[in-house]
Amino acid sequence: MQTNEQVLPLPSLDIAVPGCQEDEYELVYHKPSTLVEVNMHYCPGCAHSLVHKLLMEVVEDMNIQDKTIGIAPVGCSVFAYDYMNIDMQEAAHGRAAAVATAVKRLMPEKYVFTYQGDGDLASIGIAETLHAINRGENILIVFMNNAVYGMTSGQMAPTTLTGMKTTTTPNGRETSLSGYPIKIAELMAVLPGSFYVSRQTVHNAAAVRKTKKALEKAIKYQDLNKGTCLVEIIGNCPSNWKMTPTESSKFIEEEMIKTFPVGDIKLPKAEDLKTKLEEN
Ligand SMILES: Cc1ncc(C[n+]2csc(CCOP(=O)(O)OP(=O)(O)O)c2C)c(N)n1
Ligand code: SF4
Ligand SMILES: [Mg+2]
């Protein structure tokens, strides 16, 4: 069939931009080599992609790519193993801390972390998590708290704020019916097996830098073999919160951190850090 369609010539991509010589710029950001060169499936503004990057930057900075093993959860970040260019093991829903226990005990020379959402860790996996920390397993637990079951369309999680609307609490969470938001970091900090517990956010640049520092410390502490480290990160879930990414960051700043205050919750004892310094 004939059409009158006109084929226009493609514009040349060789556009010389005056003053844009690459060597005139200072490199301030690069994608870490520890992230696989693929597009991630996360929604725009989702905290998972940012935290994947921070974790992998730490692994790259510490030069431990071949010594690190991650345990992936069930939830929106189930495909973390497709993005992090390290050895990874998938765990059944909620069981990451139990899997990490086995991996670390079999390969104590490896740096082992779990990466888990709040549905995964604080709901179905609360028992595994609590017992692993109570045993003082020498692992890092990265706990992504976005206050909902993200993957399954935003049902209430144990961490949902009082009054927060979710698909299963359309009128807002009522504590008389559903209890209070569980403060995982504070709860785990009272266990003698926890060594370092921190809660951070990634809703602005300063917070991102602090989160990276907390992750870095928590991974390095595995050299001390003194107990479990847990870094809880309040993460944006714009899609289920029905917000734009910018609104979701404002929501964290104005609402989430009222219930989940940010900062280090349990610090290592000075003598534990000193012993290591003396050895070196
Ligand atoms: C045994 C089992 N129960 C329930 C599910 C359904 N399920 C998949 S992901 C999920 C919740 C995930 O929420 P969260 O851990 O908070 O991760 P997010 O998606 O918010 O990052 C649930 C209930 C499942 N896959 N397996
Ligand atoms: S639903 Fe929420 S947690 Fe899941 S990818 Fe989208 S923004 Fe991220
Ligand atoms: Mg969640």
Q: pLDDT tens across 5-64, in order? A: 666 665 555 555 555 566 778 888 889 999 999 999 999 999 999 999 999 999 999 999
Supply the DSSP string of 186-202, one letter for each residue.
HHHHTSTTEEEEEEEE-
Ligand 1 close to Cβ of residue 135 (< 6 A) = no
Q: Which ligand is nearest to the CA of 117?
A: 1
Mean pLDDT of the 76-104 span: 98
Closest CA relative to residue 131, chosen from 101, 90, 92? 101
Residue 182 pLDDT exceeds 50: yes
CA of 120 to the centre of ligand 1 (A): 6
Q: In the CATH hierarchy, which fold is given to the domain comprising 40-274?
A: Rossmann fold (3.40.50)
pLDDT at 26: 85
pLDDT at 24: 78
Residue 229 pLDDT exceeds 60: yes
Residue nearest to atom 2 of ligand 2 (CA): 237
Q: At residue 16, what is the residue type?
A: A
Residue 205 pLDDT exceeds 60: yes
Residue nearest to atom 6 of ligand 1 (CA): 152
pLDDT at 81: 98
| Helix/strand/coil for 72 | strand
Ligand 1 close to Cβ of residue 46 (< 6 A) = no
Q: At residue 141, what is the residue type?
A: I
Burial environment of residue 30 by CB neighbours within 10 A (0 to 12, 13 to 18, 19 or more): exposed
In order of 233, 236, 243, the CA distances from 247 in angstroms are 18, 10, 6
Pocket test for ligand 2, best of 121, 237, 246 (most atoms within 8 A of CB): 237
How many whole angstroms separate alpha carbon 252 and alpha carbon 76?
Answer: 19
Ligand 2 close to Cβ of residue 237 (< 6 A) = yes
Residue nearest to atom 6 of ligand 2 (CA): 43
User: What tokens does 212 get?
Assistant: 């990276």
pLDDT at 136: 98
Alpha helices in the chain (DSSP H): 47-61, 80-83, 96-106, 118, 126-134, 175-178, 184-189, 205-220, 238-241, 245-251, 257-259, 270-279
Burial environment of residue 23 by CB neighbours within 10 A (0 to 12, 13 to 18, 19 or more): exposed
Lowest average pLDDT, out of 98-112, 216-230, 261-275, goes to 261-275
C-beta atoms surrounding 274 within 10 Å: 11
pLDDT at 30: 87
Residue nearest to atom 12 of ligand 1 (CA): 75
Q: Which ligand is nearest to the CA of 120?
A: 1
How many whole angstroms separate alpha carbon 181 and alpha carbon 61?
Answer: 35
Higher pLDDT, residue 184 or 17: 184
Could you state, in order of their start, the residue ranges of all structural domains in the chain? Answer: 40-274
pLDDT digits (tens, 9 = 90+) for 93-148: 999 999 999 999 999 999 999 999 999 999 999 999 999 999 999 999 999 999 99
CA of 111 to the centre of ligand 2 (A): 27
Stated pTM of the model: 0.91
Contact 149, 237 (CB under 8 A): no
Helix or strand (DSSP H, E) at 265: strand 263-266
To the nearest 10°, report the CA torsion of 272, 275, 276, 280: 170
Between helices 205-220 and 47-61, what is the axis angle to 10°?
A: 50
Atom of ligand 1 nearest to the CA of 237: 20
Through-space distance between the first and last CA atoms of the chain, rounded to whole angstroms = 79
